[in-house]
Structures are given as structure tokens and as C-alpha cells.
Amino acid sequence: MFGWQGVAAAVVLFGIGTLGVVLRRDLVVKLLALAVVNSSAILCLVSLRVRPAAGPPLLGAGATPVMADPLPQALVLSAIVINFAVLALALVFVMRLVEQYHTTDSHRIDRRTRDEDAE
Amino acid sequence: MKTTRIVVPAAACALVGAFCAIAWHGLDGAGPNAADVSPWIESAEALGARNVVSSIILGVRILDTLVEILVFTVAVLGVRYFLELPHGRAAAEEIPESRLVGVSAAILLPLIVVIGTYVTIYGHLSPGGGFSGGAITATGLLLVAAAVGAERVGARFHEGAFERVEWGALAALLVLALLPVPFGKAPFTDLLPAGAAGRLLSGGTILPYNLLIGTKVLLGTWVIIHHFLRHRGEI
């Protein structure tokens, strides 16, 4: 396995996530779709540097002579925690919008803000 | 409105296409053509760390990691600011969990805290580090907060002290990064000795960085969890 399966799955996930962000009207679902997009980027980065029969990127781990490429792992490690925090912040903004407009429907919120502007 | 209906899906399709193209292009480096990892191994050996991933994020990529910590801090600050209860308004009523969750939390919390601390401290020797260790420990706190109520857990830990430790960890991270400057060295230079690889006290500044990042991530995550649980069932 040279990683193309992982990349193919990442492309599919990216497509699903992007479609979710664009087509779904519910803000919470949009955020979940954004999380799927983020996961696809992580899966893609890790899959792109797959090395056949590689061991963990630890010195002296022994068993296999080939070591997995540590760079993509280093790139995605902190990204996972940051994504969690940023997603939480986005969810807070959604909560504030829901408190004000009593709906998670982005079209309705859009319409009401336009009405407010017109008034 | 009509233009938006065409432009937005077209932009989304273009985005998916661009992602496909980047992924396809990147596949050249996978498998037998995989990049040489020897520079990373050399840098880990120079730092005295056995975990090559830790030696990258807290070695050559330390500036990037610090900026990511700042992004995390800003996000946590945003959650804290926007979810702060207005003066005089009580938190949403606790939603009681089943007894099963309560008993599981009591059994699992000590284990989770020990594993989280181990993963943080041994981040330079085995898989793990501050990011994962902090997240593991915060998950334990989430379990307890869900089981016995966020307010009761929050009351047990002094909120003000938590905040001071959180900001103190961030300040200590910046001080540790800038400490070499008064000694006439570039920022982020490792001042601590590399030590014998495989020993707990090795890896130079990776261990203190991991401890501080673990503290920061744990407390930041707790702030997010606590604020969300306080508003649970409100909307």
C-alpha cells in the first residue's frame, strides 16, 4: 500500500465536507462538515508520505529498519488540537447567533439580518 | 442571489479539484519515492530525543509550534469571552447523567490523569507529548464534569488559580524561547544539555516545553469544556 488509498479517501472526505459546507443550511451541520474537511487534510498529509513496511518514528525502536516519515506526523499533531479549539470558537459564534435569531438556518439568519439592515 | 447559486458550487468544485490535483502531485513522494528521513534522525540525535516527531515540533519547528499555541490561546480566550455568563445569570441547570457514567468516571479519572501525565512527561522518549497528553487529561476532566456536573468540578478547582497557571504556562513558554537572547544566542537555542538518549532527563528543552504545552492545552481545553457544559441545554 503506497498511500493512494488514503489519499483517495481524503479526496472523497474533502468533497463530502465541502458539499456539506456549501449545500447544507444548518450552521451546526456546516461546522461538522468543516471538521470533516479538516480530517481529510490530515488524512491526506499522512497518506502522502507512507513508506512501505515502516516502523514508528522512534530512535532505537528496533524491529524495522525503515522509519515512517516523521514530518507529516509533526505537521498534523498540533493541527488536531488547534482545530478543536477553533471549532469550539466557531460553535460559540453559532450559539450567539442562535440566541439572537432563534434558528440555526443560515438562510433565515441571512434574511433577518437583511431585514434588520433595511429597517 | 442567482449568481451566488452558480458561483458558490463552482468555487466548491474548483476547491475539490485543486485538492485532487495537490494530492495527485504529492503522491509522487509516496511509497518507494518517499523522502529521506535521515535529516530528522540526525536532528533528533543532536537534541538527545528518541521521539523524532517531538524533536521536530519542539526543535526545528518550535517557532511554528509557539504560534500555534498562541492561536489556541486566542481561541480559548474567545470561548471564555463570548460564553461568559452575564452578571447575575445562573448557569443552565445540570442534566443528570446515569449512575453508570458516574461510577465509570470515578474509576477512569485516576487512570486517565496518570496516562495523560505519562504521555506528557515521556513525550521525548515515546509517542506523545504536550499536545496529546494535555488533551488526554482534559478528556478525563470532561468525563467527570459530565458525570458529576461542571459546576461541582469547577468549584473543586479554584478557577482563578487555573487562569493564573494557564497564563503563567504561556508566559513561561515565551520566556523559555527567549532565554538564550541575554546569553548572546539566537532565540529558541537549546540551553539545556542533550543528556543520554533514552533517559528521562534528556532531550534538552523538549521536556520543559512538553510540560508547559501540556499544562496550557489541559487548562485551555478545560476552559472550553467547562463553558460549554455551563450552557448545556440552554438552546
Compute the distance between CA of residue B62 and CA of residue B149 in angstroms, rounded to an integer: 37
B199 touches chain A (CB under 8 A): no
A42 touches chain B (CB under 8 A): no
A9 touches chain B (CB under 8 A): no
Same structural domain, B75 and B94: yes
Band (B112; pLDDT cuts 50, 70, 90): very high
Would you say B53 and A70 are in contact if contact means Cβ atoms under 8 Å apart?
Answer: yes
Compute the distance between CA of residue B95 and CA of residue A10 in angstroms, rounded to an integer: 37
Compute the distance between CA of residue B92 and CA of residue B74 in angstroms, rounded to an integer: 25
Same structural domain, B119 and B18: no
pTM of the predicted model as reported, rounded to 2 decimal places: 0.84
Same structural domain, B124 and B211: yes
What average pLDDT does chain A have?
A: 86
| Candidate from B27, B49, B53 with C-beta closest to A74 | B53
Which of the residues A77, A86, A93, A95 would you substitute to probe the B interface, choosing the one with the greatest number of B C-beta atoms within 10 Å?
A77
A64 touches chain B (CB under 8 A): no
Q: Which pLDDT tens digit goes with each residue over B41-75?
A: 888 888 888 888 988 998 888 898 999 999 999 99
- The percentage of chain A sitting over the pLDDT mark of 70, rounded to a whole number, equals 94
| Candidate from B75, B129, B197 with C-beta closest to A59 | B197
Is the CB of B12 less than 8 angstroms away from the CB of A80? no
Residue B29 confidence (pLDDT) above 70: no
Residue B59 counted as domain residue: yes
Compute the distance between CA of residue B227 and CA of residue A89 in angstroms, rounded to an integer: 11
Of B81 and B160, more confident: B81
Would you say A91 and A31 are in contact if contact means Cβ atoms under 8 Å apart?
Answer: yes
Residue B91 counted as domain residue: yes
Residue A60 counted as domain residue: no
Is the CB of A88 less than 8 angstroms away from the CB of B79? yes
Residue B187 confidence (pLDDT) above 60: yes
Is the CB of B30 less than 8 angstroms away from the CB of A44? no
List phi, psi (to 5°) of B127.
-55, 135
Band (B189; pLDDT cuts 50, 70, 90): confident
Residue B6 class from Cβ within 10 Å (0-12 exposed, 13-18 middle, 19+ buried)? exposed
> What is the total count of domains within chain B?
2
Q: Domain range for residue B28?
A: 1-35
Same structural domain, B49 and B119: yes
Is the CB of A70 less than 8 angstroms away from the CB of B9? no
Same structural domain, B80 and B194: yes
C-alpha cell at B2: 442567482
Residue B170 class from Cβ within 10 Å (0-12 exposed, 13-18 middle, 19+ buried)? buried
Residue B81 counted as domain residue: yes
β-sheet bridge partners, residue A105? A26
Residue A61 counted as domain residue: no
Is the CB of A15 less than 8 angstroms away from the CB of B16? yes
Same structural domain, B223 and B125: yes
Is the CB of B8 less than 8 angstroms away from the CB of A22? yes
Q: What is the pLDDT of residue A62?
A: 66
Give the chain A residue whose CA is nearest to the CA of B30. A49
DSSP B27: G
Q: What is the pLDDT of residue A30?
A: 94
Q: What is the pLDDT of residue B233?
A: 63
Residue A59 counted as domain residue: no
β-sheet bridge partners, residue B51? A58
Compute the distance between CA of residue A32 and CA of residue A38 in angstroms, rounded to an integer: 10
> What is the total count of domains within chain A?
1
Is the CB of A89 less than 8 angstroms away from the CB of B79? yes
Q: Which pLDDT tens digit goes with each residue over A32-65?
A: 999 999 999 999 888 887 777 778 888 877 666 6
Find chain A residues with C-beta within 8 A of B228's C-beta.
88, 91
Same structural domain, B151 and B132: yes
Find chain A residues with C-beta within 8 A of B72's C-beta.
81-82, 85
CATH number of the domain where residue A94 is located: 1.10.287.3510
Same structural domain, B19 and B107: no
Q: What is the pLDDT of residue A85?
A: 85
Residue A31 counted as domain residue: yes
Taking the C-alpha atoms of A101, A106, A108 and A112 in order, what is their torsion angle to the nearest 10 degrees?
A: 60
Q: Domain range for residue A13?
A: 4-53+68-118
Same structural domain, B111 and B21: no
Q: What is the pLDDT of residue A31?
A: 94
Same structural domain, B165 and B218: yes
Query: Cβ atoms within 10 A of the Cβ of A68, count?
Result: 22
Shortest Cα distance, chain B CAs vs residue A3, angstroms = 6
Give the chain B residue whose CA is nearest to the CA of A102. B235
Same structural domain, B31 and B123: no
Query: Cβ atoms within 10 A of the Cβ of A80, count?
Result: 14
Query: Cβ atoms within 10 A of the Cβ of B81, count?
Result: 11
Compute the distance between CA of residue B96 and CA of residue B149 in angstroms, rounded to an integer: 8
Query: Cβ atoms within 10 A of the Cβ of A103, count?
Result: 15
Residue A62 counted as domain residue: no
Same structural domain, B19 and B126: no
Residue B235 counted as domain residue: no
List phi, psi (to 5°) of A105.
-75, 115
